[in-house]
Amino acid sequence: MTVAVSSRTLALRRLRRNRLSFLGVLLVVGIVAVVVVGPLLWRVDPLATDLVHRLEGPTAAHPLGTDVQGRDLLARVLYGGRVTLLISVVSVMIALTVGSGLGLVSGFVRGWFDVLVMRIVDILLAFPPLLLALVIAAARGPGVGNTILAVSVPAIPRFARLMRSQSLAITEREYVLAARAIGLSPSRVLFRHVLPNGIGPVTVQASIALGIAVLEVAGLGFIGLGVQPPAPEWGAILVDSRTYLLQNPVAVLVPGAAISLSILGFNLLGDALGDLFDVGGGR
């Protein structure tokens, strides 16, 4: 076990040395914690309207003020974070599963299946992901389901490409030949050898994709093609508050900062994970 422990401590040391990576982990953990725990502590209904107290600035009762319907903005930002992040995570998980699955099999079986999958991937890659998300959202209309679709589909090709190259490389490794030499079936080789050895860089890609997903979910919400009001969502809150920027700038700053910091956090976390896999070298 000694080697394993020392390589782990080495990784931790490297993580700490790299302040930006540390910041990334901190941001992601912090934001997730706030969004998960926040609504449990600040038990205010984000949907409850109160037309007497509409468009108020920060007060003790409403630390971030209220929106045009008198809804508590702090509660909306906290719940909105859950919505934005959950949709992002679900979208990335779908893209990861579909994309990596296709890539894994493509790189392993090669032949016509690989050619077909990679053609489709190339076509999808020809569009900038944000544009593709917009097109899908515009075609399908707003709503949670369509947002997930619009965010996950553009993320699929990168996962497919990455996992395919992992799959191609690992299939050539001697331990795969050794596994076949003891009578393993192709599907077992795939799931026991190729997948676990190839998944590392996919987690890096997942983190980066999460940053993009947050941007897209909030962006779609912002332009009215994402999650529909009155459900809270960071992008949608931002666009609501924007009109009253001068009366209550906090209402713009806080969701804006939440979006930016999440994107930054996931990107830095991606870098950190990248470093971590370099430490693992031997894989």
Partner 1 sequence: MTDAVLEVRDLHVEFATDPPVRAVRGVGFTLAAGERLGIVGESGCGKSVTATALLGLVDPPGRIVEGSIRVRGKELLSAAAADLRAIRGSEIAMVFQDPMSSLNPVARIGRQIEDVLTYHGWQDRGSRRRRVAELLRLVGLPDPDRRARAYPHELSGGMRQRVMIAMALANEPAVLVADEPTTALDVTVEAQILLLLEDLTARTGAAIVLISHDLRVVAEVCDRVLVFYAGRIVEEGSVDEVFARPAHPYTRALLELAFGRDRRAIPGAPPDLSSMITGCAYAPRCSRRIAACSDDPVLEGRDSHRVACWVGAVR
Nearer to partner 1, 178 or 257 (CB): 178
Q: Give the one residue of 68, 178, 245, 257 binding partner 1; rule: CB under 8 A.
A: 178
| Residue 192 binds partner 1 (CB under 8 A) | yes
Nearer to partner 1, 17 or 188 (CB): 188
Whether residue 171 contacts residue 111, with contact meaning beta carbons closer than 8 Å, is answered with no
Q: Give the one residue of 3, 41, 52, 246 binding partner 1; rule: CB under 8 A.
A: 3
Least distance from partner 1 to the Cβ atom of residue 182, Å: 3
- The DSSP code for 45 is -
Least distance from partner 1 to the Cβ atom of residue 99, Å: 21
Inter-residue long-range contacts of 237-245, CB under 8 Å, 24+ positions, other chains counted: 237/67, 237/73, 237/76, 237/77, 237/80, 240/67, 240/68, 241/67, 241/73, 243/68, 244/55, 244/68
Least distance from partner 1 to the Cβ atom of residue 55, Å: 57
First to last CA, the chain: 17
Q: Give the one residue of 17, 119, 242, 283 binding partner 1; rule: CB under 8 A.
A: 283
Nearer to partner 1, 69 or 197 (CB): 197
Of 134, 154, 137, whose CA–CA distance to 145 is shortest?
Answer: 137
* Residue 43, SS3 per DSSP: coil
Please give the residue ranges that form the binding site for partner 1 (CB under 8 A): 1-4, 173-175, 177-185, 188, 192-193, 196-197, 282-283
